[in-house]
Amino acid sequence: MNHDLFRKAHDGSREIYAEYGVDTEAVLERLSAIPISMQCWQGDDVTGFEKAGELSDGGLMVTGDYPGKPRNADELRMDMEEAFSLIPGRHRINIHALYAEPGSKVERNELKPEHFSRWIDWAKEQGVGLDFNPSFFAHPMVREGFTLTSADEGVRRFWIEHGISCRKIGASMGMELGNPCITNFWIPDGYKDSPADRKGPRMRLTRSLDEIFSQKIDPECNRDSLESKLFGIGSESYVAGSHEFYLGYAIRNQKLLCLDSGHFHPTEDISDKISAILVHLDEILLHISRGVRWDSDHVVILTEEPIAIAREIVRGDFVSRVHIGLDYFDATINRVAAWVIGMRSMIKALLIALLEPSGLLRDLEAEGDLTARLALMEELKTLPFGSVWDRYCLRNDVPTGRTWLEEVKRYEKDVLSRRD
């Protein structure tokens, strides 16, 4: 790696961006302060540690069986450390309730903070924050695809207790680590075909959520978030927790709304929703994914959608109000590489947005010069952000260009290939 060559390239880029009133060094400082929450479930195919084998009972479909899957939580954390060594900046880890380490069988409605003590201790060592998710899937108490909306009071009670437990776990994580944990609620409840009663499940969901959130928790420790979905496997015609349902609930109760970029119609972009929702809410959560036709959980790459999302965050001055996480799982490729590709791609999208002279664009718009606005937006697309990215990687002592893949291949040979 020729560091002098990269530095010379950045010096040229810095001069080019300066002509547009952009200070690349100041941009990199801003970028370093934006954490992204990396999802632990990419590392083990959403299996968790409750039982061996693939998920069932309403679990999530994961394609592929790439060798080297971690066999326990220590190996999963080791893989995440490897990924973080190749990703510039300091970020967060997002974990699901089924990644508890209780030492013996504990039902999900009885989970406690101590069952995640090893995650908390590890996060302290790594200097990263934790985010959390109840796991309303892959369990015998998911009856006919229903959890919090179930007409069976025993089923609904089980999942209400699970949600209450998870908020306490999130609060403990936030308190121990000194920064708020976002506990995000997503449920799969819905119907494959058109239901006769759309209202009933949503009324039961409202009552369930009201009970789960009845206990006040310090927002400096835990913040609650609600994640919608347009449809899922087995719920193609109706999902109780739709975007409109959670939007209304979040605004009425001042909860965070989670927008997952893979949970809407394939032609629907979430970037426009950000400013619309932040008129009414203080904060939102984003789950960045990549939808391919009906499947929403492909590895994030640098396409127009994450760039548009990042631009909306920066242009609206929403950096402190938008929490960014990734949400995908792909077992057809090296799992560590999947993390690195997705994280680096989202960081690049943020860099592109931060390098934009948004003030100049707003001024042109305010003056009514829409021709110059469009022309400038197009010219900005070919500016040399790549050398600024390389500069950021060098500053964070992580590989530039494709050289990170060499380290992943070495890790695969020395570590992953030795796993059964």
Which residues is 235 bridged to in the sheet? 232
Q: Which residue among the candidates 327, 356, 390, 412 is catalytic per the annotation?
A: 327
Active site residue 327: yes
**DSSP string for 127-148:** T-EEEEE---SSSTT-BTTBST
Q: Which residue among the candidates 229, 243, 273, 348 is catalytic per the annotation?
A: 229
Active site residue 168: no
Q: Which residue among the candidates 79, 260, 283, 390 is catalytic per the annotation?
A: 260
Active site residue 297: yes
- Nearest Cα to Cα of residue 227 among 54, 96, 85: 96
Active site residue 162: no
Active site residue 412: no
Beta strands 190-191 and 238-239 are antiparallel
Active site residue 381: no
CB contact burial 157-168 (16+ within 10 A = b; e otherwise): ebbbbbbbbbbb
| 225 three-state secondary structure | strand
Rounded distance between C-alpha atoms, residue 254 and residue 419, angstroms: 46
Rounded distance between C-alpha atoms, residue 244 and residue 377, angstroms: 32
Q: Which residue among the candidates 50, 227, 305, 356 is catalytic per the annotation?
A: 227
Active site residue 74: no
Active site residue 260: yes
Q: Which residue among the candidates 41, 159, 186, 389 is catalytic per the annotation?
A: 186
Q: Which residue among the candidates 287, 298, 323, 348 is catalytic per the annotation?
A: 287
Active site residue 220: no
**DSSP string for 70-130:** -SSHHHHHHHHHHHHTTS-S--EEEEEGGG---SS---GGG--GGGGHHHHHHHHHHT-EE
- Nearest Cα to Cα of residue 301 among 274, 321, 272, 330: 330
Beta strands 222-227 and 190-191 are unpaired
Rounded distance between C-alpha atoms, residue 141 and residue 143, angstroms: 5
CB 189 within 8 A of CB 149: yes
Structure tokens, 242: 């739709």
Q: Which residue among the candidates 10, 91, 263, 348 is catalytic per the annotation?
A: 263
Structure tokens, 38: 């990396």
Q: Which residue among the candidates 82, 224, 283, 297 is catalytic per the annotation?
A: 297
Q: Looking at the annotation, which residues are catalytic?
A: 186, 227, 229, 260, 263, 287, 295, 297, 327
